[in-house]
Chain A
């Protein structure tokens, strides 16, 4: 009997990977894609791994495909930028066994630095693409993608979005189908991409695209729902659901699930005889431009209306209320109430977060510029620390700091120093090469690696520094100091970030040097499930609490500058919420009256 289960899109993709007989999967964590590989890891039939970055993840999955097993890689949208280099050339060679890549995009930027539309990658790399709109399709399309990949000898890209990844709907569970390993046979003309071979493959890619263009019109994932109306809606991904809420049975639909190459003939047939055509797609007007090419003319409403004015919003999610407002001009009547009673609730470093002591000290310094990175520690940008000047993408903290320092030093007598700040996982991801650049090119920036021994922001994934693999197996625990030293850095200090005096002294030391240095702050994340190694190295961590002696507290609020969510003011004096405090003592060290007691330091 088929069993129905409520699943998120990410769980369903993982289930699809399992049922498709995949034997190898790799990823780097990134919202909203993270739970795909987390769920895959629970299947012992699949060798699943967190790679140090997305490029590595795709390359190792590609290798496994050449080796003859169905292989899979997933990443967030910006992760595909990192993996773009192999992606474009893998598109030429294809694999041996099926190879499927998932990109998880973020219309609305719930948790990302940009809103790029990775459907563009499919066209750019000439790789077929699927866009599921709910969890059932996530599973079914994932399985289908492997068939397609093998039939057309191409990697297949699946594009999902936050709402597909993190929404639950019903999915029918099926069994895993084992797929035999394809024996490896040497084929250097295919896999060695020297120009002479790559030119041949380039022609193959074009032939493949021609075949896929035809196939797209017949693909079961592209279909028309004819309700006998004069209004037509063309949509892909989650947008079709939003559109159906708005139009119901009052429109005909063309649902596009196989969206590159687009089903041009089917689209042409669909728009024939319609009075009005709405193209509902989140982010870029990709389908819309194709429909325009087919001669939709004055009937077409997408990101632009027939007069060329903006119509559907160019950015953000096209939820059904947004569509309704745009199409019908319906304004939602809002209640009148005192909106000043709503105070913002920005995310904050957790009580006991080991980044706190570091950012408290960093934010006080006026002699530095801080180049930040992607992770929980990006919150060092926010009040009360205000300890960040820029942040861009994974690893850019270190290289950015190098560049800023070089520019500043072009002015004679410059005293300002630049500090690049990044986490352990981000250092492994792409900080290492940036640090090598500092050493090699005689840079003078300071690098701080906040080693909390886990990949924190995405919800605690193992990384090369934790001693465990994605599937919980013990592995070599990579030593950050040894890497830093091997890259050529001679000045290294390892400190406890909860000890603000040690932080201050380390920063003074680094600023005083006339050569690059690395400070490693080491303390496990407060939310981390401590490993045996953590317990051994940090036996007192998070075992105590701090309290305020109300006799001694003068209500000066200095402790609030720690930005700890456990501290608040009650009757003009500080209080610490005992359910939140874990005794990191950062506030205790700040207090000028020694009014805070307890804790581990």
Chain B
């Protein structure tokens, strides 16, 4: 049975590294993996998405169908709503309680919508992650993405994969420990 994970956020939030680490881990676990990213204009503050699909059998399409994501992880909370149609009926949302206002908001045309988390909770199995505060506790705001990756690992029962080695191979040596801690914290928060 193919599992579908959708990571969404805003350019610069580290979704691409998080999905890279995730796919490497899935590969290491001898699963077939496909991943698709749309990031054409992401450096200019647009929204970014990573589709990750894996299975013990062959995976064909790298793109998740509407209504088929097992987990939706939103690095920015409004992005969770934007992509909510991808979530399965009984799928889970992990939402970072974090706001990045886009240009229509910073330029004063409209305001950042209130009540997003409440709206999410009304219609989907939603876990709120204070990834920003948690990252601070660990020692660097930059590991927010690894905390959120940890929530995926925890909720999809992937904790048995050797994430430590993958981190060691893909992250600068001075940041490996911080990232390990962040993933572990994410796993705890997913439960």
Interface residues of A (CB under 8 A from B): 4, 6, 31-32, 110-111, 134, 162-163, 166-170, 238, 240-242, 244-245, 317, 319-321, 324, 332-350, 376, 379, 382-384, 457, 459, 527, 557, 560-561, 563-565, 567-569
Contacts and interface: CB of A to CB of B under 8 A. Distances in A.
Given A170-B32, A345-B102, A111 B40 contact: yes
B108 interface: yes
B35 A6 contact: yes
A345 B10 contact: yes
A319 B68 CA distance: 13
B38 A110 contact: yes
A336 B89 CA distance: 12
A563 B108 CA distance: 10
A383 B109 contact: yes
A422 B105 CA distance: 28
Nearest to B37: A166
Identify which of B23, B33, B61 gathers the most chain A CB atoms within 10 Å of its CB. Answer: B61
A3 to B, nearest CB: 12
Given A335-B84, A338-B119, A527-B43, A348 B102 contact: yes
A196 B59 CA distance: 53
Contacts of A343: 78, 102, 104-105, 110, 112-113
Contact-residue bracket for chain B:
35 or more
Contacts of A338: 119
A321 B65 contact: yes
B24 interface: yes
B9 to A, nearest CB: 11
B46 A346 contact: yes
Contacts of B33: 6, 168-170
A134 B45 CA distance: 29
Nearest to B112: A343
Given A332-B66, A346-B104, A337 B119 contact: yes
Contacts of B103: 345-346, 348, 382-383, 563, 565
Nearest to B23: A6
A31 to B, nearest CB: 5
Nearest to A162: B38
Contacts of B63: 163, 167, 242, 317, 319-320
B57 to A, nearest CB: 11
Q: Which 6 residue pairs spanning A and B have beta carbons closest together?
A: A111-B40, A347-B44, A321-B65, A167-B62, A347-B41, A345-B102
A337 B46 contact: no
Contacts of B138: none
Contacts of A333: 67, 89
Interface of B: 10, 23-24, 27, 32-47, 60-63, 65-68, 78-79, 81-82, 84-85, 87, 89, 101-110, 112-113, 115-116, 119-120, 122-124
Contact of A169 (B62, B105, B110, B122): B62
A488 B99 CA distance: 52
Contacts of B112: 343
A560 B124 CA distance: 36
Given A163-B36, A334-B85, A245 B65 contact: yes
Contact of A344 (B39, B40, B42, B102): B102
Contacts of B40: 31-32, 110-111
A238 B63 CA distance: 10
B61 A245 contact: yes
Contacts of A376: 44
B62 A163 contact: yes
Contact of A335 (B32, B45, B104, B124): B124
B45 A350 contact: yes
A567 B123 contact: no
Given A167-B37, A333-B67, 15 more contacts: A110-B40, A169-B62, A244-B61, A245-B61, A320-B63, A337-B84, A341-B119, A343-B78, A344-B102, A345-B45, A345-B47, A345-B79, A350-B45, A383-B107, A563-B103
Given A163-B36, A342-B78, A347 B45 contact: yes
A527 B45 CA distance: 13
Nearest to B76: A345
Contacts of B46: 345-347
B35 A168 contact: yes
B92 to A, nearest CB: 14
B54 to A, nearest CB: 11
B43 A342 contact: no
A345 B42 CA distance: 10
A6 B27 contact: yes
Contacts of B24: 6
A408 B125 CA distance: 60
B163 to A, nearest CB: 16
Identify which of A340, A345, A569 gathers the most chain B CB atoms within 10 Å of its CB. Answer: A345
Contacts of A335: 84-85, 87, 123-124
A114 to B, nearest CB: 15
